[in-house]
Every structure is written in structure tokens, then in C-alpha cells.
Amino acid sequence: MRLLAVIILNVLALVIMPVVAVAQQSLVQDPVAFEKEHFTKRCEGQASFGDHFSTDQDINNDKLMDVVINEGEITCKGEKGPDCTDEGCTYNFYIRVEDGGYLLIATARIYGYDFIQRFGNMVLVMKMHPKYCNRTEGDPCLMTVRVRGTQFVTISTK
């Protein structure tokens, strides 16, 4: 009986998960408006957004301006960065596609990031909780990633 329940759950997961994956891959015409609408509803109309809530920059080196959303710049019902923890705040990375619109390609809980040039390409150096570098404490982990198309490719961690 227990084996049958596990099999049924696995089949359900195989059916449901592709639907979730497709939903995550839908195009958004304006990620800033999309995120603001979401948090305005969530905060029951009591949301404000700081100057660094959204950043326009080409993070995947394709000459199209992408958008990075910093949820730490949200004030919800008087609380700044309501979802921020000791592991940082949530950042959402949207890539602009040639056909128009934006695709959410990554969500990361980080302390922040620098956008620098390495070996001729712009890369993100994300400051993360030490656990992402297999440490329990100490300085933040620095994860360097290059965005290739719509995927984050880790170059190094230290």
C-alpha cells in the first residue's frame, strides 16, 4: 500500500512539475510593473519601493537591457525588506528577449552583487551567505557567475 502511494505521488509530480516550469517561463512585458503589482497586492496597498528596487543592465552580454529586482528595497506595511533574512534579500533576474518581453531566469537570496568585467565579458559577483561556499561562518561567499543566454553559469566561488 505504501509503495502504491509513493508511485502515485511520483506520477502526480511528473504531471504537475512541467506545468509549474512552464508557468515560470512565461514572458512578462514589464517586470518592474509586474513586481510592483504583486507586492502592492501582498502588502494590501501599503507598499513603497526604494530607488534601487530595479536596475536596468545587460547582464547576459547580448546588448539588450535586462532588469534586476531587489526585494530588499520594498517597504511593506512599514517594514523594509520584509522577506530579508540573515542570508540576504531576494533578487530576481529578468532577461529581455529579442521577441519582446522579459523572462525570469533566476531568483537568488544574496547580500548584493557587483557587475564587473572579466576576460572580456561582464559577470556578476554575488555576495552570499558563507554556507554557499561550504562554510558555517566568516566572510560572505563570493560567487562569480556569467549569464549565458538564459542560464547562470558559475565561474568560481570563494
Contact 68, 53 (CB under 8 A): no
Give the global pTM: 0.81
Q: What is the dihedral of CA 24, 103, 42, 129, to 10 degrees?
A: 90
Beta-strand pair 54-57/79-80: unpaired
Q: What is the pLDDT of residue 12?
A: 41
What does the mean pLDDT of the chain come to?
86
Considering its fold, how many domains does the chain have in total?
A: 1
Residue-level length of the chain? 158
Q: What is the pLDDT of residues 73-99, one digit of tens each?
A: 999 999 999 999 999 999 999 999 988
Letter for the amino acid at 108?
A
Q: Is the pLDDT higher at 16 or at 69?
A: 69
**Whole domain around residue 21: which residue ranges?**
2-157
